[in-house]
Amino acid sequence: MPCKSSAPLCSQSSNLVSCEDSEDSLRTLLDDIFMGNELIPDVVDEAPRFPLDLTYKTIRTFPGMRLTADSTRFKPMLRWPSEPGALYTVVVSNLDINNRRNR
């Protein structure tokens, strides 16, 4: 069961971490991944609040992952936590296409 923002703890058990701690850990992890792949500040100012689940057929991707043209020829499947009634824009880009190493 996902954490609700109004609930201070995911469970009453003292062995579980709070929802806030889990969200802070996820935020730190995403920041580290985006900075390590030089997406911050070159592409975006900050990491997203939640990760995007992007899968090509059987290949589950992650930020900074190198993919071949062959592996991306299928329609991608996208999932993320969304808010009812909200609109989203997703941009999938090949940022290193003009890199000299790729020529």
- Is 31 a member of any domain? yes
- Is 95 a member of any domain? yes
Which DSSP helix (H) or strand (E) runs through 78? strand 76-79
Between 59 and 90, the higher pLDDT residue: 59
- Is 14 a member of any domain? no
Q: Which of 28, 15, 21 has its CA nearest to residue 3?
A: 21
- Is 5 a member of any domain? no
Q: Can you give the residue range of the structural domain that contains 80?
A: 19-102
> Measured between alpha carbons, how far is 92 from 26 in angstroms, rounded to an integer?
22
Q: Which of 5, 40, 44, 41 has its CA nearest to residue 23?
A: 5
| pLDDT the model gives residue 43 | 83
* Residue-averaged pLDDT of the chain: 78
The mean pLDDT value for 54-75 works out to: 87
Overall number of domains in the chain: 1
The mean pLDDT value for 66-88 works out to: 90
> Measured between alpha carbons, how far is 80 from 52 in angstroms, rounded to an integer?
5
| pLDDT the model gives residue 40 | 87
Q: Which of 21-25, 44-48, 61-65 has the highest mean pLDDT?
A: 44-48
- Is 60 a member of any domain? yes
Show the DSSP H helices in 1-103 as ranges: 19-36
